Amino acid sequence: MKTLIATALLIASTASYAHDNSFSSEACHVDLHGGINIDAKQITFSKNKAPLYTISDNQTLLVQGQKVTLTAQQQALVNDYATKVRALVPEVKSLALDAIDLAIDGVNLAFNELLGQGNKVSTELTTQLTTIRAEVDREFDQNKGFYIDEEGFSGDDYFNDDFEQRIESAVENTIKNSIGGLMIALGQEMLASGGDMSAFEDKMTRFGEHIEHEMTTRSATLEQRADALCQEVIAIDNLEGQLQASITELARYNMLTTKALKQ
């Protein structure tokens, strides 16, 4: 299971961000053709940082700075579209935080069983992952502004890094620094097996299978939520198509393209 974020972002803990103007997960593929800035009052869609159109208070549509007069049907479409786009931010944030919590659980489950409670590896990794979690919690906030475009997330340098690699690096560095303790623990396991390599290998295999089973079970709910998020993004894409067909001023602005992958 891969780490989401980068929308997941737009999509999530089974999602990956490719830096090729797209987001992918096992359930869908999303192409973003511009920037989306969401704050407490308005949503602005842009291209190359230049604003194209804005929806204020989920109802007022401005195209190239000019207010567009809407029929009741068009107004309902604009409101529905803005509401659904805005709702993505807390959903992605919640899924990202839960994915990190799952990683923390996995770290403690694995190393506490191998090295005992309170071991250095679990403590250091939990500290680093908790720090990353706090950053995500702080940065995914509509009230302070949330921006994403073809290049990824804006804001602190944190969002310009590859999120999954950052977590992998934390794991690798901690393991490297704790290799001595791990070797001692493995040596103790071998001694407990009476020097029987076959028995030792069987025990390690069972240990790995146990961890894998636990994490697969715990990640199932997150994967279902990521799939549901994909369906919400696809629904937003469909609404965008309706807006283009209904409102002449938006006809040429296709900001989102989605494709369902999982049937």
Question: Comparing C-alpha atoms, which of 262, 250, 236 is closest to residue 7?
Answer: 236
For 213, other C-beta atoms within 10 Å of its C-beta total: 10
Q: Which two tokens stand for residue 138?
A: 């702080």
Quote the domain boundaries for residue 183. 16-39+85-260
Report the SS3 class of residue 32: strand
pLDDT, mean of residues 61-81: 96
Among residues of the chain, what percentage have pLDDT more than 70?
Answer: 65
Q: Residue 216 pLDDT more than 80?
A: no
Establish if 94 belongs to a structural domain. Answer: yes
Task: Please state which of the ranges 4-13, 88-97, 162-171 shows the lowest mean pLDDT.
Answer: 4-13
- Separate counts of helices (H) and strands (E) for the chain: 5, 11
Stretch 166-171: mean pLDDT:
67
Whether the predicted pLDDT of 8 surpasses 60 = no
Q: What is the mean pLDDT of the chain?
A: 76
What distance in Å separates the CA atoms of residue 47 and residue 34, rounded to the nearest whole number? Answer: 5
- For residue 206, with 0-12 CB atoms within 10 Å meaning exposed, 13-18 middle and 19 or more buried, which class applies? exposed
The H or E element containing residue 43 is strand 42-47
Q: What's the rounded Cα separation, in Å, for the pair 61 and 223?
A: 35
Q: Indicate the number of domains in the chain.
A: 1
pLDDT of residue 156: 46
* Confidence tier at 132 by pLDDT (50, 70, 90): confident
Q: What is the pLDDT of residue 15?
A: 35
**Domain-embedded: residue 224:** yes
If one compares 82 and 7, the residue with the highest pLDDT of the two is: 82
Mean pLDDT on 197-224: 73
205 in any annotated domain? yes
Q: According to the model, what pLDDT value does residue 234 have?
A: 92
**How far is CA 225 from each of CA 94, 98, 174, 236, rounded to the nearest angstrom?**
10, 11, 30, 17
Let me know if residue 63 belongs to a domain: no
Answer whether residue 26 is part of any domain. Answer: yes
Comparing 222 with 140, which gets the higher pLDDT?
A: 222
In a domain, 70, yes or no: no
- Rg over CA atoms, the chain: 23
Residue 195 maps to a domain = yes
pTM: 0.74
Does residue 1 belong to any structural domain of this protein?
Answer: no
Average pLDDT over residues 90-100: 84
Q: Tell me what pLDDT residue 13 has.
A: 33
Tell me what pLDDT residue 71 has: 97
